[in-house]
Amino acid sequence: MTRLIVAAGGGGDAVAAAMLHAALYGDEDQAVILTYAWDRLLIDPLPGPRGADSFAGLEPVTQSVWSVPAEAQPIAPAGSTLPRLAAELPHTLALLDPHHGAEGITRRLEELVDHLSPTSIDLLDVGGDILARGDEPTLKSPLADALTLAACCQVNAPIRLLVAGPGLDGEISPDDLRPLLGTLVHTFTVQDVESIGSILEWHPSEATSMLAATARGARGICEVRDARLPVPLTDEGPTVHEVDLDDAVSRNRLARAIMTTASLDEAEAHSREICGFSEIDYERNKAAWLTEQPPTKLEPDDALSRLDQFQSEARTRGVTHTTFRHITEALNLSGSQRDELRRLLIHSRPDQYDAPLWNIGA
């Protein structure tokens, strides 16, 4: 018995997919999780997603689908969290390569379905930006989700679209998403988080971290990187809802526009036209900026002093929680220093660690 879960966005959705499998399907055979190698610049200094040619040690699943085992290595200067995820998850991670556009993803997905004959296919998005129209002013990363949505709706197999943690990606508010959500499929619990808890100690996904935190009972307002919407941590946070796939496609203008794209460049062009931007352009610009920044050293006393100032200002904005990724950004440290900063804060102020978030208090 094989379950196929398509992670709609980046690596965080793959982590959530593993938690979903444990919650819904228990100790059944391993799942195959089809996921992008699309880590943000914190992990991968190269903009955009990685394809199979960016790795050594991949293993063939079908003629054009490759799995990422624990032994695989990204070819420098590329970086990827997938090999480490493969080492820590009991599932097969299959590489979702968008470089041949939605048509390429569709062909590979059909190959995978023919090869696996899966018992079920779930398309999972954490946050709900897969339901974006494309003109929302707070939308930041529509392309990855639109590509998977465009491909899945063209596959001749029943695929269930699931949205976990509505609003937790900080791109569309829970109020706007609520009318679009269908049947409640599951509400994640503390026990569900146990299957991925150790992964969130190092994985940089903010949305999946908040999903886990709300399942553990965290409530309040979480501030995330890049000044996105403040994210409410509520009882809705740990929920998983089914959404009609056709309704999602009807709503998502970008997904409809890119269905016949044969390259990532072509899909990007549609994103610029419909959404006014491409998230890969943002990564290109940020990568260029980062190369010009002088190296910084983490000085513990200085970092803790600046943390106090950040927390004081955040409280005036009504913020109760934040992510280590955002603290790193707020203290003007480099992404490579996130883990060092995290260790410093947990060691110095363990009472504020609301795993996997940081509790700044009311």
Q: Which amino acid is at 264?
A: L
Environment class of 291 (CB within 10 Å of its CB; exposed 0-12, middle 13-18, buried 19+): exposed
| pLDDT for position 175 | 94
Residues near 35 by Cβ (< 8 Å), separated by ≥ 6? 6, 7, 10, 11, 13, 14, 17, 82, 93, 94, 95, 96
Nearest to 321 by CA among 197, 151, 206, 182: 206
Which runs of E-coded beta strand occur in 258-356? 321-322, 353-354
| Mean pLDDT confidence for 120-146 | 96
Residues near 191 by Cβ (< 8 Å), separated by ≥ 6? none
| Mean pLDDT confidence for 287-298 | 82
Given pLDDT bands bounded at 50, 70 and 90, which one contains residue 151? very high
In DSSP terms, which residues pair with 96 in a beta bridge?
A: 36
Share of the chain above pLDDT 90, in %: 86
| pLDDT for position 41 | 83
Average pLDDT, the chain: 94
| pLDDT for position 227 | 60
Nearest to 354 by CA among 253, 210, 254, 246: 210
Query: Whole-angstrom Cα distance, residue 23 to residue 189?
Result: 9
Given pLDDT bands bounded at 50, 70 and 90, which one contains residue 351? very high
| pLDDT for position 289 | 85
Query: Whole-angstrom Cα distance, residue 346 to residue 208?
Result: 20
| pLDDT for position 245 | 98
How many angstroms separate the Cα of 269 from the Cα of each of 101, 173, 273, 281? Answer: 11, 26, 6, 11
Judge whether residue 84 has pLDDT over 70: yes
Judge whether residue 325 has pLDDT over 80: yes
Judge whether residue 318 has pLDDT over 90: yes
| Mean pLDDT confidence for 53-63 | 97
Judge whether residue 159 has pLDDT over 90: yes
Higher-confidence position of 134 and 296: 134
| pLDDT for position 260 | 98
Query: Whole-angstrom Cα distance, residue 287 to residue 251?
Result: 32
| pLDDT for position 43 | 87
| pLDDT for position 8 | 98
pLDDT tens, 180-239? Answer: 999 999 999 999 999 899 999 999 899 999 999 999 999 999 999 876 678 999 999 999
| Mean pLDDT confidence for 20-46 | 90
Q: Is cis: bond before 356, omega within 30 of 0?
A: yes
